[in-house]
Amino acid sequence: MDLPRIFTIRESSHRLHNPITPGKLAALGQALHLEPGTRVLDLASGSGELLCTWARDHGVTGTGVDISTVFTEKARARAAELGVADRVTFVHDDAVGFVADEPVDVAACVGATWIGDGVAGTVELLGESLRPGGLTLIGEPYWRREVPDRETAEACHARDKDDFLVLPELIEQFGGLGYDVVEMVLADQDSWDRYQAAQWLNLRRWLDRNPGDELADEVRAELTTAPAHYARYQREYLGWGVFALMRR
């Protein structure tokens, strides 16, 4: 049970595995008015930056669950680096279907709603771990503007243009699920640049060190096409945000 190697190669230098910057992550923590002792469950927690920095800055406690052995070890190392290893725990496990042993104050899935087969299923899954009155955090893509065709949608890693919604419709979807949107922090194009462009440097440095690896041809092909592909499609059409929800 693990992520394919290409994912960990591509994002080897990343502390955040989505287009939220450290500043925006900090702003979100401040906006939520987190109190010391707030219990957080973070499903698909990646390298643990949300839990670790919020434990340092706000005194939260919690558990992160991720399928990647590489990212889980990075998360544990980050917790030790920031002096919060006694407050946060990282578990190598499949986040699909994961429910906390005890209700938490904040249940998060920031950028991996595939664990619930989409937004609705992920919101439902997180709700199984959440105390009454708690906060749900969902990170999800949306269209910055209407997508002209299926080719553009597929270039943005969607099966078709109905896979994602434009921002107002995404917010309305949360309402239709019975939740109020009480905060949001949105990526901008610079956030996307920092997330995506950093991958190209990771790929190139890995390729220079590992020219004979079985993945070398795949990495070379991606590095050759990814920058222009990103500039032509994802940068122009794909948005992303973290949305804080409370059940009505």
The pLDDT tens digits of the residues spanning 107-150 come to 999 999 999 999 999 999 999 999 999 999 999 999 999 999 99
Q: How many CA atoms lie within 13 A of 29 on its CB side?
A: 23
> 134 Cβ partners below 8 Å, 6+ apart?
103, 104, 105, 106, 107, 246
pTM above 0.85, yes or no: yes
Residue 200 has pLDDT above 90, yes or no: yes
Cβ atoms < 10 Å from Cβ of 217 = 10
| pLDDT, tens digit, 9 for 90 and up, residues 11-58 | 999 999 999 999 999 999 999 999 999 999 999 999 999 999 999 999
Mean predicted lDDT score pLDDT of the chain:
97
Contact between 20 and 50 (Cβ < 8 Å)? no
Amino acid 214: pLDDT: 97
Amino acid 64: pLDDT: 98
Domain residues for the domain of 66 are: 5-247
Residue 178 has pLDDT above 90, yes or no: yes
Contact between 99 and 128 (Cβ < 8 Å)? yes
Strand 61-66 vs strand 88-92: parallel, antiparallel, or unpaired? parallel
Q: What is the mean pLDDT of residues 166-179?
A: 98
Amino acid 1: pLDDT: 80
Q: In this structure, what CATH number is given to the domain that contains residue 78? A: 3.40.50.150
**Structural domain count of the chain:** 1
